[in-house]
Structure 1
Amino acid sequence: MNDPSHLARCAQLAMVLEVAAHPKPGNVDRDHDFPDTTFEHFLASAVGTYPVLEEAARSRTGAGALIHAAAEESLRWQRGGNTHFGAFVLLIPLLMAAGSKTQASKIVLDTTSEDAVEFYRAFSIANVRIDSVPDFDLGESNSADRILEDGVKLFDLMKLSADHDLIANEWVSGFERTNWCADMITKKADTMSINDAIVCTFLRMLAETPDTFIRTKFGRDKSIEVSERASEVIRGSMDLASIKSEVHEFDEQLIREKANPGSTADIIIGGLFVALVRGLRV
């Protein structure tokens, strides 16, 4: 079904299910908040951005402006800062693709330099922690002018970041990890609750792929250390119940260290959206 209202609700539900899943090591969930960002902030963002999500499902172009609009709309409804910026970067092209029955890889490849400028402008309101791409410093006021002058597309910017940024890599790889998450969650949901399916998939992905947000905040070595710890936690497990105490300990460790795997959570949201569009039901 490619009805824009249905697709927008799939995106909303994906965001709600992700933040509600627990225990999800290091991130906000129904069990704990961060000092300035709470569970309710994530819920408000997921609900409040509906008009932009629906508009994305009706659109074939304008990904940059839609990402910008989603970031603005999110902040109109909550005071917790950046809750879903990375998720919007994934969800907007996925919504556009589902609504127009086009491959998401085609949507992102067709982005323009105007999309790139809108994407840069979104950072000024979302206050996102990110490594600047070569030649285009997010902190430089003239970067937008240079992007337009050089005709640099948003897809081009993502290619420059793809080797160290999970979200950018999704754009370049055809949303490979997003689709992997969709398949994994769907498969696990046949034999366990949706909550456990999400947490198990989150842990598996974190174990296999160092998180961008942690790398940007603490460095590459720390992101690898967290992934190795996740691998130890899930080693040999068949379900969440058998490792729940270890997961809680891992969660408490990451919370103490303020090492939250935010990019991993964003890709889980993208995977949930794809799974819901395909027919997954809670």
Structure 2
Amino acid sequence: MFDVNDPSYLARCAQLAMVLEVSASPKPGNVDRDHDYPDTTFEHFLASAIGAYPVLELAARSQSGVGALIHASARESLQWQRGGNTHFGAFVLLIPLLMAAGSDTPVSTIVENTTASDAAQFYRAFSIANVRVDSVAEIDLEDPDSIDRILEEDIKLFDLMKLSADHDLIANEWVCGFERTFQCAEMIAENADRMSINDAIVFTFLQMLAETPDTFIRTKFGKEKSIEISKHALEILTGNRDLDAIKSRIHEFDRRLIHERINPGSTADIIIGGLFVALVRGLVV
């Protein structure tokens, strides 16, 4: 049996969550074992997940601040692969979840206690991860002077997340106590009781996408497109709990999104967070 408080065990749960997510197929629009994007491949995601281990373990030991650990994980990821931003959103979820699990502290407490220094480190991570985001009127994510303002006005990272929570899934998780992440963990565990782990991840991915429009899609293609994609996922799922019965429709949906370069990346990040929680709770692959 594993020691669920062991930082090494928790870090490996985070790694396994990232590997399982990218391996699951078909997840419409995502890089997976069956297809790549021109600049970002399946192997890039694997390399990122493996390379980030030292930072993930540090997070489980709470040996730095949230912002510094997010920055370090983004930097470590990029040192191991040339595919660009593979896991930034996932790290924003995983770092506080790891810190919470390793210290037996509620994750809401971890994020609410972040500082202006955490916020500054978080902003610095954008410059290396090349993350596509919607800036908010109060703070321009692409303005280097924003870091000075954050420190001068003592703006906490949690406060920055509140500014984006109405239009960003990951920020919303921070503000709402990781509600979707924990819901996702329960759905994965429930689905894994009646199907393979691959199919459980794919089915849960579609459930989460159908429930909430993906903000990565919204940022790149607009709100209407993100809603349309969620409606399509819901149409595929309606009346079906057997993945085999709808796999042909999932593959068709997948081909369309890949062709249009529409990637539900925020939903994939939630899946990684949910898998981590499910694994820590005892899910066995």
What is the TM-score normalised by the length of structure 1? 0.99
Could you tell me whether the CA contact under 8 Å between 2:5 and 2:102 is conserved in 1?
A: yes
Which digits, 9 at most, give the CA deviation of each residue in 1:217-249, with x for residues without a partner? 010000001001111111111121010000000
| 1:111 paired residue among 97, 114, 117 | 114
Structure 1 match to 2:132: 129
Is 1:208 matched with 2:214?
no
CA apart distance, 1:60: 6.5
Structure 2 match to 1:7: 10
Structure 2 match to 1:248: 251
- Equivalents in 2 of 1:132, 1:154: separation in Å? 14
Which runs of structure 2 are paired with 1:222-233 in the superposition (5 Å)? 222-233=225-236
- Equivalents in 2 of 1:220, 1:207: separation in Å? 14
| 2:173 paired residue among 170, 173, 181 | 170
Return the letter of the residue paired with 1:87. A
Structure 1 match to 2:199: 196
Structure 1 match to 2:34: 31
> Which consecutive unaligned segments of at least 5 residues does structure 2 have?
none
- Equivalents in 2 of 1:18, 1:191: separation in Å? 18
Return the letter of the residue paired with 2:31. V
CA apart distance, 1:134: 2.5
- Equivalents in 2 of 1:279, 1:224: separation in Å? 34
Could you tell me whether the CA contact under 8 Å between 1:52 and 1:69 is conserved in 2?
A: yes
Compare 113-122 and 127-136 and name the one that shifted more: 127-136
Structure 1 match to 2:50: 47
Is 1:236 matched with 2:239?
yes
CA apart distance, 1:133: 2.1
Compare 109-118 and 126-135 and name the one that shifted more: 126-135
> What is the root-mean-square deviation in Å for CA atoms of aligned residues?
0.7
Which digits, 9 at most, give the CA deviation of each residue in 1:31-73, with x for residues without a partner? 1000000000000000000000000000065000000000000
Compare 134-143 and 200-209 and name the one that shifted more: 134-143
Q: Secondary structure at the match of 2:279?
A: helix
Return the letter of the residue paired with 1:192. M
Which digits, 9 at most, give the CA deviation of each residue in 1:120-178, with x for residues without a partner? 00000000000012311011111000001111000000000000000000000000000
- Equivalents in 1 of 2:58, 2:183: separation in Å? 26
What is the TM-score normalised by the length of structure 2? 0.98
Structure 2 match to 1:257: 260
Structure 1 match to 2:221: 218
Structure 2 match to 1:21: 24
Could you tell me whether the CA contact under 8 Å between 1:155 and 1:172 is conserved in 2?
A: yes
Could you tell me whether the CA contact under 8 Å between 1:82 and 1:127 is conserved in 2?
A: yes
Could you tell me whether the CA contact under 8 Å between 2:116 and 2:157 is conserved in 1?
A: yes
- Equivalents in 2 of 1:126, 1:61: separation in Å? 20
Return the letter of the residue paired with 1:6. Y
| 1:120 paired residue among 106, 119, 123 | 123
Could you tell me whether the CA contact under 8 Å between 2:215 and 2:266 is conserved in 1?
A: yes
Could you tell me whether the CA contact under 8 Å between 1:60 and 1:97 is conserved in 2?
A: no
Could you tell me whether the CA contact under 8 Å between 1:133 and 1:157 is conserved in 2?
A: no
| 1:78 paired residue among 71, 77, 81 | 81
Q: Secondary structure at the match of 1:52?
A: helix
> Which consecutive unaligned segments of at least 5 residues does structure 1 have?
none
